[in-house]
Amino acid sequence: MARPTMSHSSSFLLPTTDSAAAAAYAVVVLNQRLPRFAPLLWNRARLRVCADGGANRVFDGMPELLPGEDPDEVRTRYKPDVIKGDMDSIRPEVKEYYSNLGAEIVDESHDQDTTDLHKCVSFITRNPPCSETSNLYILVLGALGGRFDHEMGNINVLYRFSNIRIVLLSDDCSIFLLPKTHSHEIHIERSIEGPHCGLIPMGAPSASTTTTGLRWNLDNTSMSYGGLISTSNIVEEETVRITSDSDLIWTISLRN
């Protein structure tokens, strides 16, 4: 039986886009440096959630990304809707500042079994900014860089919520999950991404992965740690098509 096809696009990173209008974006900010496109995605989002110390990054980082504007006006305009986590990283003055502006503060210090990103994604799925979860994209800023165990925990969230479109973003690349339940079409936005890309069998080995649209395509190829993984591949066509018997991580470089 043919698998349904899932389409993917990074059009949310374009300054103006018609295709992004149909999607409902939620932004999650983690405790790493804000990428340069944070203001664009913040304005595009219908729901903005800071994970604990991510609020510090918004407080400090948004004025740095908008140096020609008054810092206090920037901080007022870029106010998170929700600050959620175990509250061990947010500075007291930042917490008070956003609380006074009306941000919802959700202290989950009692829960030490899930990461701050997991808590934020759970909150968004319970309070989605749209009626159809198929239209929901969760864009995660600050998920990459810093401690390696944090990065692995963030990637694990992609697997924990494999039915939700979650994109991890840094200045350098984007990462998302390709569930094995679907075939995938990735529409390449050449003005903002590529050409370098990778397909990583992080959850389990893949006995058979097939691609089109790459310089070095896979043809019923097996991939595993200790064997072949597709890194430093090159996007050659406008659409990359991927089918695999295993969940895969897709990553592509972002242009400056």
Q: How deeply is 92 buried, as exposed, middle or buried, from its count of CB atoms within 10 A (0-12, 13-18, 19+)? A: exposed
Q: Is the pLDDT of residue 71 over 70?
A: yes
**Rg for the chain, CA atoms, rounded:** 18
Q: Is the pLDDT of residue 110 over 80?
A: no
Q: Is the pLDDT of residue 132 over 80?
A: no
Task: Give the pLDDT confidence of 176-228 residue by residue, as tens digits.
Answer: 999 999 999 999 999 999 999 999 999 899 999 999 999 999 999 999 999 99
**Start-to-end C-alpha separation, the chain:** 42
Give the per-residue pLDDT at 177. Answer: 98
Cα separation, 16 vs 166, whole angstroms: 21
pTM of the model: 0.94
Helices then strands, each counted (H, E), the chain: 6, 15
The CATH code for residues 172-256 is 2.60.120.320
Cα separation, 180 vs 249, whole angstroms: 11
Give the per-residue pLDDT at 43. Answer: 95
| Poorest-pLDDT segment among 29-33, 52-56, 83-87, 110-114 | 110-114
Cα separation, 233 vs 11, whole angstroms: 21
Task: Give the pLDDT confidence of 165-188 residue by residue, as tens digits.
Answer: 999 999 999 999 999 999 999 999
Q: Where are the domains of the chain?
A: 21-171, 172-256
Q: 21-171 falls under which CATH superfamily?
A: Thiamin pyrophosphokinase, catalytic domain (3.40.50.10240)
